[in-house]
Amino acid sequence: MAELRIEIDRLDAALVDLLVQRAGYIDRAVDIKKTADLPARITSRVDEVITNVRRMAATKDLDPDLAEALWTHLVEWSIKREAKHIPE
Q: pLDDT tens digits for 34-77?
A: 999 999 999 999 999 999 999 999 999 999 999 999 999 999 99
* Domain 2-83 CATH assignment equals 1.10.10.60: no
pLDDT tens track for 9-29: 999 999 999 999 999 999 999
For residue 71, the tally of other CB atoms under 10 A from its CB is 19
